[in-house]
């Protein structure tokens, strides 16, 4: 009998076992056509969990409920699974952070989110307490992650799986950028995790909440049958015919400030085509073409250097950081071109980048929307400085070695 996970799709608690299964090479089948409120009320389901709560894992040896217990069981099916850590102290720390995720993070998100969705009664004082508690937890987590990529050790553990899943509804449904920007290391950590291939396979694309849900109003109470006087039916009054309210014309979408700049002689798409189509003599064709096209009045060049290179101890994780960053930069594709380099032959690896932006500053909407921007030091290029100009050319060209070090990876944003 295969392992069967009883839960509907999109359940963050079911995600824990499914992600652990991906890392452990264990096959777990999610039940099809599961309907919450129906499937979990059947006699067969209640035999597995009398409380009717999901998820439940059905195994050849019996059923298991409680999501963290299910995730542990799945991970233990692989001998010496690194998801539990590589030493006794790491194993203890994995358990520690799993408990933290349940008692501090999950409860804080729930008490903030669920009343607004109408699952439990809303009270402003309760919400204020929940927010304060959640911020305290995220502040502690932010301090821990200031110099770490993962919660424990140098690779994903069960603690990362559980914490990320417990943060999922927070980021996706109520914790807007204005809330999470206070905790930049937590932001970096969350987006790094959800963009790991095994996480993404289960969770899909995750987007941050753009607004806090409005408090759900209670439905108006209906009179009880015994309170309704028995009267002879009366002819229903004819409804008043009112003129339909005039609808406000939709407001035009405000233009991006960069669209209001004076025209530039540099056509960004022409440069991107030249870059993509140049296969030989790159320095003579593409680099020369770039400098011929470049308009220092309409565009600006910027170097960026990652502030926390000491944490870049795992090559694939470092490269995933870059991939996630470029994915989130998609909102400025019309106005930018970039090169990101992962430098070094051994850890810690260095992240360095070059960006071409429309205008004379790093666009404000990019700084506001892309949390990764705060993780880099940004320095405007002085093109009158020949050394800086040559550095720009070397970065566009993916020159190796770069500044005396091996080039582990290079990615282009165009």
Output the average pLDDT for the chain.
89
358-399 per-position pLDDT tens digit: 999 999 999 988 888 999 999 999 999 999 999 999 999 999
Same structural domain, 140 and 70? no
Task: Pick 217 or 411 by higher pLDDT.
Answer: 411
- Residue 232 is assigned to a structural domain of this protein: no
164-174 average pLDDT score: 96
- Residue 9 is assigned to a structural domain of this protein: yes
Same structural domain, 164 and 305? no
- Residue 249 is assigned to a structural domain of this protein: no
- Residue 25 is assigned to a structural domain of this protein: yes
Cα torsion through 110, 115, 119, 121, rounded to 10? 130
Same structural domain, 396 and 266? yes
293-304 per-position pLDDT tens digit: 999 999 999 999
- Residue 114 is assigned to a structural domain of this protein: yes
Same structural domain, 324 and 378? yes
Same structural domain, 289 and 399? yes
Q: Report the DSSP beta bridge partners of residue 300.
A: 357
- Residue 243 is assigned to a structural domain of this protein: no
149-167 average pLDDT score: 96
Same structural domain, 45 and 171? no
223-234 average pLDDT score: 43
Q: What is the pLDDT of residue 234?
A: 45
Cα 255 → chain centroid: 27
Last residue of a domain, one of 76, 104, 121: 76
Total number of domains in the chain: 3
Is the pLDDT at 220 greater than 60? The verdict is: no
Last residue of a domain, one of 54, 76, 98: 76
Q: How many CA atoms lie within 13 A of 219 on its CB side?
A: 3
Q: Which CATH number does the domain housing residue 130 bear?
A: 1.20.1050.10
43-58 per-position pLDDT tens digit: 999 999 999 999 999 9
The pLDDT > 70 percentage for the chain reads 91
90-129 per-position pLDDT tens digit: 999 999 999 999 999 999 999 999 999 988 888 888 899 8
Is the pLDDT at 320 greater than 90? The verdict is: no
Give the whole-angstrom CA distance, residue 203 versus residue 197: 10
Same structural domain, 400 and 285? yes
Phi, psi (rounded to 5 degrees) for 352: -135, 145
Last residue of a domain, one of 203, 227, 248: 203
Q: Which CATH number does the domain housing residue 42 bear?
A: 3.40.30.10
- Residue 284 is assigned to a structural domain of this protein: yes
Q: Which CATH number does the domain housing residue 309 bear?
A: 3.30.70.1010
Give the Å distances, CA to CA, from 59 to 41, 64, 70, 94, 343: 20, 8, 10, 25, 47
Structure tokens at 308: 């926390």
Same structural domain, 129 and 62? no
- Residue 170 is assigned to a structural domain of this protein: yes
Hey, how many other C-beta atoms are within 10 angstroms of the C-beta on 135?
A: 15
Same structural domain, 286 and 152? no
Indicate yes or no: pTM above 0.75.
Answer: no
Same structural domain, 198 and 266? no
Same structural domain, 271 and 405? yes
Same structural domain, 190 and 294? no
Is the pLDDT at 217 greater than 70? The verdict is: no
Q: Give me the domain span that covers residue 194.
A: 82-203
Q: How confident is the model at residue 256 (pLDDT cuts 50, 70, 90)?
A: confident
């Amino acid at each position: 009998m295969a392992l069967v996970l009883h839960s509907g799709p999109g359940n963050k608690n079911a995600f824990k076992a499914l992600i652990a299964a991906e890392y452990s090479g264990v096959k777990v089948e999610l039940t099809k056509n599961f309907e919450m409120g129906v499937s979990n009320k059947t006699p067969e389901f209640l035999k597995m969990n009398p409380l009717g709560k999901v998820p439940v894992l059905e195994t050849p040896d019996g059923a298991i409920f409680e999501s963290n217990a299910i995730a542990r069981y799945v991970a233990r099916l692989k001998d010496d699974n690194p998801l539990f850590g590589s030493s006794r102290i790491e194993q203890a720390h994995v358990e520690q952070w799993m408990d933290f995720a349940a008692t501090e993070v999950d409860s804080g998100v729930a008490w903030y989110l669920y009343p607004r969705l109408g699952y439990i009664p809303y009270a402003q004082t309760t919400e204020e307490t929940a927010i304060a508690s959640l911020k305290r937890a995220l502040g502690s987590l932010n301090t821990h992650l200031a110099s770490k990529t993962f919660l424990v050790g140098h690779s994903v553990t069960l603690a990362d799986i559980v914490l990320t899943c417990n943060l999922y509804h927070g980021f996706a449904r109520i914790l807007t950028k204005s809330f999470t920007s206070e905790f930049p290391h937590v932001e970096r950590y969350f987006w790094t995790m959800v963009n790991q291939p095994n996480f993404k396979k289960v969770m899909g694309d995750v987007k941050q909440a753009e607004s806090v849900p409005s408090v759900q109003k209670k439905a108006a109470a209906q009179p009880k049958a015994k309170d309704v006087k028995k009267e002879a039916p009366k002819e229903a009054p004819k409804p008043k015919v009112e003129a339909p309210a005039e609808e406000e014309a939709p407001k035009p979408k405000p233009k991006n400030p960069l669209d209001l700049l004076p025209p530039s002689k540099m056509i960004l798409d022409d440069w991107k085509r030249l870059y993509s189509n140049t296969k030989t003599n790159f320095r003579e064709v593409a680099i020369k073409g770039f400098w011929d096209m470049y308009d220092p009045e309409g565009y600006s060049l910027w170097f960026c250097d990652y502030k926390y290179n000491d944490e870049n101890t795992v090559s694939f994780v470092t490269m995933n950081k870059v991939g996630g960053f470029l994915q989130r930069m998609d909102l400025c594709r019309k106005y930018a071109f970039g090169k990101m380099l992962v430098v070094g032959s051994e850890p810690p690896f260095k992240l360095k980048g070059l960006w071409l932006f429309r205008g004379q500053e790093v666009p404000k909407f990019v700084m506001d929307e892309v949390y990764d921007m705060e993780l880099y030091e940004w320095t405007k290029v002085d093109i009158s400085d020949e050394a800086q100009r040559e550095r720009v050319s070397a970065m566009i060209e993916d020159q190796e070695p770069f500044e005396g070090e091996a080039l582990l990876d290079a990615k282009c944003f165009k």
